[in-house]
Amino acid sequence: MALPDILAQVQGHAAGRKLVVITGGEPLRQNIAPLCEALLADGFRVQIETNGTLYQELPEEVDIVCSPKNTGAGYFPIRADLLSRLQALKFIISKSDAKYNHVGDVGQAKYGTPVYVQPMDEYDEVHNAENRAYAMELAVRNGYIFSLQLHKILGIE
């Protein structure tokens, strides 16, 4: 879509909302700076959610949240140019999946980056309940912020 068409779609669906979250796939694979600049100029707050493998210069007003992925070999450090810009890190947590049963060290301590833990949705209510309890336990024990996908719990699509 052309930039004016994207802006028209956002404005048409905003209905008083002023936060636009750009997520993926991986949004930083594309040149999103012009879109961010246009949204900011229109009075929107803009947040990007990235996996932390790419970076591009974005306006300072853009909030960046990183949700690193575990490749099976662990979490890799986040790029220094991106890490210094992050508002938060979000880790998906599963009690039974060893790749996702912890918060990895991706360099967050250097910047005091807030860490959110979000229970993994495994499309199985027993596992999901275990993941919620375990993520809450990690949050309480380590001072992380507990995050839920309430739309899934409430059945809102």
**pLDDT on residue 20:** 96
**pLDDT on residue 149:** 84
Token readout for 57 is 């210069």
What pTM did the predictor assign?
Answer: 0.88
Query: Would you say residue 157 has pLDDT above 80?
Result: no
Domain ranges of the chain: 1-66, 90-157
**pLDDT on residue 156:** 80
Rounded to an integer, what distance in angstroms lies between the CA atom of residue 50 and that of residue 24? 7
Pairing of strands 86-93, 63-66: parallel
Spell out the alpha helix ranges (H) of the chain.
3-14, 33-41, 80-83, 108-111, 125-142, 150-153
Token readout for 146 is 């507990």
Residues 81-109 have a mean pLDDT of 95
pLDDT tens figures, 108-153: 999 999 999 999 999 999 999 999 999 999 999 999 999 998 878 7
Residue 70 gets which letter from DSSP? -
pLDDT tens figures, 21-75: 999 889 999 999 999 999 999 999 999 999 998 999 999 999 999 999 898 899 9
**pLDDT on residue 151:** 79
Residue 100 gets which letter from DSSP? G
